[in-house]
Amino acid sequence: MEESFLYDKFKGAFAENYTLNELVNLRKEPYFWRSGNTAEIDFLYEENGNIVPVEVKAADNTQAKSYKQFCKKYTPHNGIKLSQKNIAKNLCENTETYNIPLYLAWNVEFYTRK
């Protein structure tokens, strides 16, 4: 299936809107973070006294300089990257980062309750 021009242009916004709806449905209070004009995290929320950064990617490319910068500066215990990639766990600047497919956004609590 080919992506239309408009879908390709707005797929990031669609993915972020979907994620926002899932977080709100989970009774999370999502926030946005920006460091001046250089870095931004799509969503942050609190889980058991810990800040959880959430980076959303509409494709399977999960390179996120802003996420790495945030983890280096604030060292959260764990974080999430939502994308088209399969489930995986990695370290990003000493932050346990869970790569989760977008369709499992409803289940982020499973990965961040620790």
For the segment 56-66, what is each residue's pLDDT rounded down to a tens digit? 998 777 778 89
Q: Residue 77: is its pLDDT beyond 80?
A: yes
Q: Other C-beta atoms within 10 Å of 105: how many?
A: 21
Q: Is the pLDDT of residue 1 over 70?
A: no
Q: What domains can be seen in the chain, in order of their start residue?
A: 5-112 (3.40.1350)
pLDDT of residue 97: 93
Tens of pLDDT, residues 103-113? 999 998 888 87
pLDDT, one tens digit per residue, over 18-38 is 999 999 999 999 998 888 778
Q: Is the pLDDT of residue 100 over 80?
A: yes
Structure tokens at 45: 């929320």
Instruction: Give alpha helix (H) positions in the chain.
Output: 5-25, 65-74, 108-112
Does the structure show a pLDDT above 70 at 2?
Answer: no
Computed over every residue of the chain, the mean pLDDT equals 87
